[in-house]
Chain A
Amino acid sequence: MTRLARLLIFVSSVFIAVPAQAALTIEITQGIEGAVPIAVVPFGWGGQTAAPENIAAIISADLNRSGRFEPLADRDLVSHPTSADQVKFQNWRMLNVDNLVIGKLVESSPGQYSVSFELFDVFRGKRMTGSTFPAPARDLRRVAHHISDVIYETLTGERGAFNTRIAYVTSSGSTKNKTYTLLVADSDGYSPQTILTSKHPLMSPSWSPDARQVAYVSFENKVSEIYIQDVATGSRRKLAAFKGINGAPTWSPDGRKLALTLSRDGNPEIYVMDINGGALKRITNSAAIDTEPVWTPDGRSIIFTSDRGGSAQIYKVSASGGAAQRLTFDGKYNAGADVSPDGRKIAMVHGEGGRYRIAVMELDSGLLRVLTDGRQDESPSFSPNGSMIIYATGAGNREVLSAVSVDGRFKQRLTLQAGNVREPVWSPFDK
């Protein structure tokens, strides 16, 4: 078997970087009482043809998806100011909105735009922030998400995560003839890009900390192998193809190492691999299953799943090896953990009474809370600001993606038009 191939490879059964296909649609399934009312007025546009993007609609949808805001419907807007001097605060106070967003889209030269926005505190009658961004047409959605980030951070004090992406896996076709794809989409489900297609299973995508590369497992050679791929260019290399399992890759916070699961020494153990040199260090040593490693944000520990205690539970070990400490005691089955960006919580698959749901545990107190109510919820992944968890859920006979706020109060479902969608992983912030 190949030890460590470091070549870019292109195998006939695998296709890279196919143009975008059907977008995900997002449906809010459980809202929050007390979401803050906000008015986002359609942005001014002086062009002869239709505006290239509806900036206000993108911002409004972002704020709505966060669960923290309740944007006013367009039909309820009393007026359509596009500059500060046109704003009559009295009118907006009567609608009981706390905040108002207005803005303008201008074509500054052919194909080149300028987007400006302003955010107001309606009750104080004051401007809170505002800015102008130049952008070509293809970046207008990104600019809108950036404006959402600014508004969100100004009003909540927490960084927004609207300008991020999700990677996920789909499968379609019959049992005997399946097609597996690995995709990357904006966090609102737009602009899905297929980055890999295969007739054999693809699984376990993991983002690099700079959000430029994805590591994943591919069975394209009828055994499991780990690859890392540049999302923008599609170039990739094979990182691990040892005898047995090559699975569960996750990037270290400094971007230089991968934690992974290998069974080359007999049974599944956690290893850390140096991405550039290929050097391997074995972290766990037990006769049981050890898998699903994830790093703590300080890079000093690895949290993983093991059944060394008789059933699957979550453990923690130093990233340089040594004795492991059991973290979960609540429930018969806890597996597939993700660590919150502040390192204080883990999300996991929590199995109890034949149901598998997403739970969050505070690491300090050990307090575990079940957030979801599916039968087969799996693959939780924190948003980079720690406010939401995206996960996969069985819905009828299909797998779809859902997201839940970390407090469990706000839920939404993301649906692709066809096929099964699973293993969502939320990207880090762009660096």
Chain B
Amino acid sequence: MKMTLGGFIVLVMVAITAGCSSKGDTKDGDVAIEDRGAEGADGAVASGAADGSDFSSYSLNDPNSPLSRRVIYFEYDSAEITDADQELLTQHAGFLVANPGQHITLEGNTDERGSREYNIALGDRRALSVQRILELNGVAPDQITIVSYGEEKPAAEGGSEAAWRLNRRVELVY
């Protein structure tokens, strides 16, 4: 990634603003928000205000919840996050803010090309990109742990571009 930190923050801010203004449409349209009460996973208790802006009403166990999407993919040698993934991370952030006891581990990964320890550093940079977006959206630093596995834990085996694309990722592990 060759972006400066300043440029990065501006981009993230723009994305957050964009995310906020479109929040109502996306959510009310795509996702059924329901109050799952005490059945929310892992101690995540919904507060009941199901007006579309309360992320605490998402459930970690609901396959239809945006929170079920927990992998962010990257371009080669890049830690840039797409607009769509920034939107998704805003939703994860909302859930974490609403559930301050909830912890998340960000696992950074790379494809197999190049040197192994350099790839550890690249995976770390990707996880840091995700961490920054979560923190800019209000998640407390002590809710987040980062680990980079570099190329050591591929999601897909093999030396094809298809496999590499699946391996350049950050996994959000609740």
Contacts and interface: CB of A to CB of B under 8 A. Distances in A.
Nearest to A263: B124
B173 to A, nearest CB: 10
Interface residues of A, number: 39
Contacts of B153: 178, 201
A349 B117 contact: no
Contacts of A223: 145, 147
Given A245-B124, A312-B118, A376-B159, A203 B152 contact: yes
A326 to B, nearest CB: 16
Given A175-B157, A287-B5, A375-B159, A349 B152 contact: no
Interface string B134-172: 000000000001111110111111110000000000000
Interface in A284-309: 287, 289, 291-292, 305
A336 B148 CA distance: 18
Contact of A175 (B5, B77, B125, B154): B154
Contacts of A289: 118, 121-122, 125
B148 A356 contact: no
Given A175-B157, A244-B124, A349 B2 contact: no
B21 interface: no
A75 interface: no
A52 to B, nearest CB: 40
B87 interface: no
B115 A312 contact: yes
A268 B115 CA distance: 15
B27 interface: no
A239 interface: no
A85 B122 CA distance: 66
A263 to B, nearest CB: 6
B117 A378 contact: no
Contacts of B122: 289
B120 interface: yes
Given A335-B115, A356-B114, A378-B114, A268 B152 contact: no
B159 A292 contact: no
Interface string A391-426: 000100100000000000000000000000011000
A349 B121 contact: no
A351 interface: yes
Interface in A248-293: 248, 261, 263, 267-268, 287, 289, 291-292
A310 interface: yes
Interface in A202-245: 203-204, 219, 222-224, 244-245
A82 interface: no
Interface in B84-133: 112-118, 120-122, 124-125, 128
Contact of B155 (A175, A261, A397): A175
Given A292-B118, A305-B118, A310-B2, A245 B158 contact: no
Contact of A268 (B2, B114, B121, B155): B121
A322 to B, nearest CB: 22
A270 to B, nearest CB: 11
Interface in A358-377: 375-376
Given A312-B114, A376-B112, A397 B152 contact: no
A245 B148 contact: yes
A71 interface: no
Contact of B121 (A291, A375, A376, A379): A291
B117 A204 contact: yes
A247 B147 contact: no
Contacts of A267: 124-125, 128
Given A175-B155, A312-B118, A268 B113 contact: no
A292 B115 contact: yes
B118 A291 contact: yes
A268 B124 contact: yes
Nearest to B5: A287
A397 B115 contact: no
A267 B122 CA distance: 10
B118 A224 contact: no
A333 interface: yes
Contact of A336 (B2, B115, B128, B156): B115
Contact of B115 (A224, A287, A378, A394): A378
A291 B117 contact: yes
Contacts of A333: 114
A245 B115 contact: no
Contacts of A311: 77
B120 A245 contact: yes
Given A267-B124, A349-B114, 16 more contacts: A175-B155, A175-B157, A203-B117, A203-B120, A203-B150, A219-B152, A245-B148, A263-B124, A268-B121, A289-B121, A289-B122, A335-B118, A336-B114, A394-B159, A397-B157, A423-B116
5 contacts: A201-B152, A219-B152, A224-B148, A336-B116, A376-B113
